[in-house]
Structure 1
Amino acid sequence: MKLYLAAFLGSLLAGAAAAAPTSYRVAADCGARAGCFGSVQAALDAAARDKSRNWVTITIAPGTYREKPVVRRGRVRIAGAGADRTRIVFDAVAQTAGRYDPANWGTPGSATLTIHASDVVVRDLSVENAFDYLANDALPEGDPKKIGNSQGVALLLDTDSDRVQFDGVWLLGYQDTLFTRGRRAWFRRGIVAGNVDFIFGSGMLLIEDSEIRSRRRAGPTPAGEFASFIAAPSTPLSQPIGIVISRSRLTREAGVENGSVALARPWHPTTRFADGRYADPNAVGQASFLDCWMDAHIHPEHWTSMAGTARDGTKTAIFRPEDSRFAERGSRGPGARGPAMAIRWNGALGIDAVRQRLFDGWRPRS
């Protein structure tokens, strides 16, 4: 009798899993329609209740959705109606966003969209962190209203993310727009816009056939100095691929001066070790720019250094691009010209090798 009851309950559960919806819709005018929700998070929560291995599709109607959705279920497709028509927007900033992060860290907590799962496809929408960075940047140092930690992440690829695919997506922000700290992600035919370290982190990220748009600062940049930085990789030394940008256009908004933007600088995150808290010496950033067109806003030296936390707690450790894993091949355009910096790393991978390693065991979905 017990065996029969267990088998019967098992068949019921299996039937329930098989009958779970495989598609949901997000729209402002859902009314009482089944499977339709007024927010992206509500649709994601409904999908998460499906414990099967089925792929689930969430279609988002045109509109602006002011929220901070988190993707926790794998095998999810999220599709908008076009990056200029479907917008997910929030304005959290690191200074006050620690409450959104399990470890109370402000920068990841500021993310508008967080992906904390594997096998996720996102397409045809925009994700924006709308914190008013420029207004804050314009305040003088010492002004009590000025926010010191002004990072505002649009997309966080969190630690449990892997095999995440983006197509036709716009990521819009200023400082720290795209934070990659999971495993593998592929971004194509989209836009990433920002100014300070706006593509950064430790994950493996391939950006192809896209626009990398530098945005202005609030004030003018002194001649010869860097106003902005595109990439700030913190790639673990054991990992051969970090941030790779291929066949893309490096553009600028109005107000971004000539020669004011670095391709990358090495980020060594402050990390707690047994003997103290200081910049991680094994986070030897890897960044490659392959066959990219560069406008004249790119600084002639292309790369620059970055300060990190020394063992005494001061921000005096200097990490140089010459000691990082930076590479550039096939650059063209007015920003491609300039003196060659003495980058000593000779282990740069070509795009075919990058794709082979990134897609090992992963077949992205069309």
Structure 2
Amino acid sequence: MSETPARTRAKARHRRRRKILATGVPLALVAAGALAYGTDTGVFGPGSARAASAAGYTAPAWATAGADGFASVDALGQRGTYGGRDGETVTVRTQAELEKYATAEEPYVIVVAGTIRVAPVGKEIKVRSDKTIVGAGTSGQIVGGGFFLGTGVHNVIIRNLTIRDSYQGVWNDKEHDFDAIQMDGAHHVWIDHNDLRHMADGLIDVRKDSTYVTVSWNRLSDNNKTFGIGWTENVATDITVHHNWFRETEQRNPSTDNAAHAHLYNNYLEDVPGTGITSSYGNYARGRTSMVLENSYFQGVNNPVIKDATASLVQRGNVFSGTSGRNESGGTAFDPARFYAYTPDRAADVPGLVRAGAGPRTSIGVADAQQGGAAPKTATTKAATTLTVARDGTARYRTVQAAVDAVPAGNTSRVVIAVKPGTYRETVKVPSDKPHVTIQGTGTSRKQTVITYDNAAGTPKPDGSGTYGTSGSATVAVEADDFQARNLTIANDFDEAAHQSLDGHQAVALRTAADKVFLDGVIVTGDQDTLLLDTAAKDRLGRVYMRDSYVVGNVDFIFGRASAVIDRSVITLKKRWNGTSAGYVTAPSTPADRKGFLISRSVVDGDVAAGSFHLGRTWHAGGDAALDPQTTVRDTRLGAAIKSTPWSDMGGFSWKDDRFAEYRNSGPGAGAAGPDRPHLTDSQAAGQEIGDWLGGWVPTAS
């Protein structure tokens, strides 16, 4: 991107605000979460009912079951937890089918029949409110991924599944947040009769004020950081944990931080001697947690029960066999019977009961002939057309562009271009008449499939017709609506040091000039002007949603006039070609009364000097004073590289006349509100959520 000529900016204008609500997307987000679905009172309101499934179908008991424990309590506009029982029952066998129904607005009972291997590895499938996801007997397995329940998601049941094997080979893994089930700000959730094991991070993470949760009759095994609860300064979570089998798990069994009411009973914690996994501790009451721990059985566990001085932990009726180390209690707690009815089993009976009853059951998730139930109908998702690319000639197409060229103009259904691992040195253009295209790497990592080239703005075109210019330098250019990219790297490896005589070092890796662009689990890397998020024309809307991704660069490396959300991603700051540290993360050129850039629940950091990078500067492309550039950075961790005055003028225009703000950021680069560092108020932040940016579009993997 080139700077505009110096020009005196007109005085500040009164700007009209436009609020766009996305159906099913809540207006409250929290740090470190993910795209959230639903509202606190449900999509259709409390007590509303949907038509059951097809005529003549009687749902078996497991499809209409409701939770016990805290998940059964009426609160927050939700009457207990019963999942998708008011909706249709469908059977899914592929990731695409599972995601289609898990992210739907309507209630569903979703039966997972067989093994679904999640790509990319570690992906957490987003779940909307009013869903039951259940394994068919003991066959339902999710391998290499898990589920995520975001802020406001409620009334969700996850039952009878095996969720396993996103482990990345590092026991105390700090790099991969690959959980089996994670919830950030959800409520009324029942996790029951699952087999959860061998994940890169937690088996269950109940975080960010999630509440009214019951976890029952699960097997949790072969894991380090097993089950975390709370992780917030607020004392908000109400949770019941009963009849679970913790076997060969090192820590967080569970660890409960600042929980308002934590009721743990009839759990079996077992550390088997002579194995490669040794327990660090069992149940842990942290912060201001109030815990009741009763009638559980601890076998061979080190430090079976520990608590902070600030926590309250009442023990009664527990059995400790072959344990050692800390076993603590103290303070006063609560009476669980005030909230719900329950009858604990004798602690001595717990090992036998839990060994026999925990984990997936053959009777759950299958048709119940005694009730006259028919088999759930099979999902009827139209299969996408798949074009496979392999640079070694083992597929029909050797280049990505050749596969794009094969997509028919005006196509009306999804075409997936499956790109096998390798480095594809080419430029790719998806023209505007070829919508509904997905380019997807097929490797186990987004680093294995790379599309790269080295054009820069000043690079001469081979036909002698001039230079490419900034937008023309893109390695991948997307001009077609409803485009998706996932599990790959898009790079521009232009060598600035070797081309110092060249006039124009802007070198774009990815340019989007389309609406409804979904970038999911990708790496976009370059130096100056890495990611150009544009629109097809000044008067055209261009919405982009990027999640779980990496963007790497140094100068204006996220820029353009699109309405774009970068969510749960890592923005990596990079030194300049000469080793110096200085740069700008964003350079929006937003039209007035449109949304610009929203960076949410992400990390901005890099191996650069402290205080050397701005979060953004105002770009009035072509000196257009009518533009109203916008960047909001919220709920994001900022590294020490970010300047204490994070916004900058550009081309004679003052950033203070445009829309630049922060909200609830953290980390060494965060700072207090002031004249040179505006923060949104809570009421302003309520109008700058993901749903406001996406305007009725709910990105769904396909």
Correspondence for 2:503: 148
**Partner in structure 2 of residue 188 of structure 1:** 547
* Amino acid in the other structure paired with 2:389: V
Structure 2 residue aligned with 1:335:
669
Contact 1:153–1:173 (8 Å) recurs in 2? yes
Asked if 2 retains the 8 angstrom alpha-carbon contact of 1:301 and 1:340, the reply is no
Identity in percent: 36
The equivalent of 2:592 in structure 1 is 237
Distance (Å, rounded) in 2 between the aligned partners of 1:97 and 1:162: 30
CA distance in 2, matches of 1:77, 1:354: 26
In structure 1, the residue matched to 2:572 is 213
What does 1:34-73 correspond to in 2, within 5 Å?
36-49=396-409, 51-72=410-431, 73=434
**Structure 1 residues 231 and 156: CA distance shift in structure 2, 3 A:** same
For residue 179 of structure 1, the aligned residue among 510, 525, 532 is 532
Q: Distance in 1 between matches of 2:693 and 2:678?
A: 24
1:130 aligns with 2:493: yes
- Distance in 2, matches of 1:77 and 1:125, equals 11
Question: Cα distance 1:343–1:88, how it changes in 2: closer, same or farther (>3 A)?
Answer: same
Separation in 2, partners of 1:43, 1:267? 36
> What is the aligned counterpart of 2:516 among 148, 160, 163?
163
- Give a deviation string over 1:46-77, Cα, whole Å, max 9, x none: 1135x441211110000000011011211111
Matched, 1:365 2:365: no
Partner of 1:246: 600
1:350 aligns with 2:694: no
Q: Distance in 2 between matches of 1:228 and 1:167?
A: 26
TM-score by length of 2: 0.41
Query: Is residue 2:664 matched to residue 1:319?
Result: no
Q: 1:97 to 1:234 in 2, by over 3 A?
A: farther
- What SS is found at the alignment partner of 1:146? coil
Q: Distance in 1 between matches of 2:436 and 2:566?
A: 21
Measure the CA separation in 1 of the matches of 2:609 and 2:545: 30
- SS of the residue corresponding to residue 407 of structure 2 reads helix
Structure 1 gaps of 5+ residues are 1-19, 137-144, 271-278, 308-317
Query: Is the contact between residue 98 and residue 107 of structure 1 (CA under 8 Å) also seen in structure 2?
Result: no
Correspondence for 2:106: none
**Residue 219 of structure 1, CA deviation:** 4.0
In 2, Cα distance between equivalents of 1:281 and 1:233: 13
Instruction: Find the aligned partners of 1:164 and 1:113 in 2 and give their Cα distance.
Output: 13
* Deviation for aligned residue 1:83: 1.6
- 1:250 Cα deviation (Å)? 0.5
Kindly tell me the number of residue pairs found equivalent between the two proteins: 307
2:640 paired with 1:296: yes
Q: Given the alignment of the two structures, is residue 261 of structure 1 paired with residue 605 of structure 2, yes or no?
A: no
Amino acid at match of 1:292: T
What is the Cα deviation at residue 78 of structure 1? 1.3
Q: TM-score, normalised by structure 1?
A: 0.78
Bigger CA radius of gyration: 2
The CA distance in 2 between the partners of 1:280 and 1:335, in whole Å, is 32
Q: Distance in 1 between matches of 2:679 and 2:628?
A: 11
Q: Flag the structure with higher helix content.
A: 1
Name the SS for the 2:697 alignment partner. Answer: coil
Gap runs ≥5 in structure 2 = 1-382, 536-541
What pairs with 1:92-107 in structure 2 (closer than 5 Å)?
Answer: 92-96=455-459, 106-107=469-470
1:86 Cα deviation from its structure 2 partner: 0.2
